[in-house]
Structure 1
């Protein structure tokens, strides 16, 4: 199976991207943070990067006289930085179009009333299908280690104890990132979109919609099915502290423009383990979930061909984990005849006269 970075996305896809709608019917839990046990791991240091930061430079891909400038986004990033936008704003100002980040959506192939009828079946979709708690589902030594990290990052939350191990791992990471001074990076894309509006630059969406037939049956099958997610849960529990430290280092590297420090193979290995637990099953294959990364990649490359051929300069926003690596979009561009330069290769801004220093 090819590596793909969006574990939360793919898990959400498998549950028809609607588990959140069911959860919204009840008020969110209010966990009470408990003091960590004496045997707990030490608290991570706060994210050190703050204030105004440059972010990464732009990758430059050229084919003939046409230039594609790519901003790689990362999530999470330090929560207390202000992103210096001058170079990107100048690149947008001289671009013919902005290719937006790839967007995937899963929709049930039913009408409005069919969706309403589906909602009750989504209740409890995160829970263990046999009603077992985590304590009953995982080995005793793993559960003991889970209790330590749960106390520190989640607190005395009972609901998560009935989750499938993979959903418990996702909740653990979500809460741990919040307490480590990290946040999602959606505002980066929002800022670039505002630049495009300001300069009246065309925005080009890259979208893929997976329509799921008979979604009620899919949800019921998923709720009955088992997932081979013990390895994912165990790695998440055992590697949480070093993984968070690596995320913090990577987030700081993004904020300061340190491109060479952005790769993290440990993270890739764990993501692959968790993705395998979700996507290797027959249900995922039947609804077409395993085809999503390839379909999105194909659509992005097609958008690049169209816009680069039409414009002297084009700008694109791409999640960094999709961009780099042997299976990344940059490698695909090179295979299509582009010359690709990293921001570390020199001035990759590609801006014309009037650029911001």
Structure 2
């Protein structure tokens, strides 16, 4: 099977926008065409950092160590993986991060490549100024000039994908990254010690990928709210993003624990999952709940089978009364927070 380029575009955008949506609402928004008054800049940490401790889930002598991912992270941070490597090496299985993968057949994948052209663009040649309220577009032009520059091609993107472009450029200029390198490092550690890697996500197979691409290109996305949330984050929350990135790098769980991540992810997740494309394709419906059910099933199986399991989750799936760990606790598992 060939992972479709189409799936990569959708899933990466979803993860990027959702990560930015984890920030608190800013105290104020800049008027159109103006920037907020400069505040003392927060310095992003660098060098070797421990990252957060691990959550421990246990029952009947079996244990699962849970490592909570966060985005964004300090760009120049060198994560100290010594403790994680020891726990991974002692485990029988590593559960990868939940997600959605879309696959197509090899020949179908090759034949659909030309159809990927224009995937991110608005239907009917619309531009951002045609879709956004005037005040929102005015705020966009300020941030676009600051972080992206004079590239006008992004003006033809759907708001969801334009938000992704702003995310990538803004994080880079702010000394931050999306943090995927930490998960990559953990996977390398598992392979080094011959520990089984297990997917925990939902897999969707497109039987007619070219038709699905055409459908997506014509579909409408309810993504203005997600776009606006992205602007708000860069207008007033860059320093807060840096503080939280530093907190993760330094293992300051108390600071990270003050945030209600799950609620902040909903806006951008809904833009993808509640758009007309998802509504018209049953395979893409109820993804959030299906993903949760799939992870719980895999985690409970691993806990019953293995003496030790290591799992990757996002911070939003670890913290709070509606988190994955809260559900395991409600089912009778013991959940211990990092020391």
CA contact (8 A) 1:52 1:81 kept: yes
Partner of 1:131: 125
With the length of structure 2 as denominator, give the TM-score of the two structures. Answer: 0.82
Q: Bigger shift: 329-338 or 263-272?
A: 263-272
Q: Which runs of 5+ in 2 are unaligned?
A: 11-31
Question: How is 1:6-85 mapped onto 2 (pairs within 5 angstroms)?
Answer: 16-17=6-7, 19=9, 39-41=34-36, 42=38, 45=41, 47-85=43-81
CA contact (8 A) 1:18 1:122 kept: no
Query: Does 2:218 align with 1:224?
Result: yes
- Structure 1 residue 172: Cα displacement: 0.9
How many residue pairs end up in the alignment? Answer: 314
2:144 to 136, 141, 150: 150
CA contact (8 A) 1:19 1:123 kept: no
Q: Aligned partners of 2:217, 2:197: CA distance in 1, in Å?
A: 39
SS in 1 for 2:71: coil
Q: Aligned partners of 2:109, 2:317: CA distance in 1, in Å?
A: 32
1:189 to 172, 183, 194: 183
Partner of 2:304: 309
CA contact (8 A) 2:100 2:201 kept: yes
- Structure 1 residue 78: Cα displacement: 0.5
Q: Aligned partners of 2:203, 2:244: CA distance in 1, in Å?
A: 31
CA contact (8 A) 1:52 1:84 kept: yes
- Structure 1 residue 219: Cα displacement: 2.1
Q: CA RMSD in A?
A: 2.8
Partner of 2:24: none
1:96 to 92, 98, 114: 92
- Distance change >3 Å, CA 102–CA 138, structure 1 → 2: closer
Q: Aligned partners of 1:156, 1:89: CA distance in 2, in Å?
A: 44
- Distance change >3 Å, CA 170–CA 269, structure 1 → 2: farther
Deviation string 1:295-336 (CA, Å, 9 cap, x unpaired) is 332332222223222332222222222222333211121122
Q: Aligned partners of 2:204, 2:220: CA distance in 1, in Å?
A: 23
With the length of structure 1 as denominator, give the TM-score of the two structures. Answer: 0.78
- Distance change >3 Å, CA 116–CA 175, structure 1 → 2: same
SS in 2 for 1:146: helix
Q: Aligned partners of 2:274, 2:199: CA distance in 1, in Å?
A: 29
1:295 to 273, 276, 290: 290
Partner of 2:27: none
- Structure 1 residue 235: Cα displacement: 2.8
Q: Which runs of 5+ in 1 are unaligned?
A: 1-11, 21-36, 347-357
Q: Aligned partners of 1:271, 1:324: CA distance in 2, in Å?
A: 13
Specify the structure having the higher radius of gyration (Cα): 1
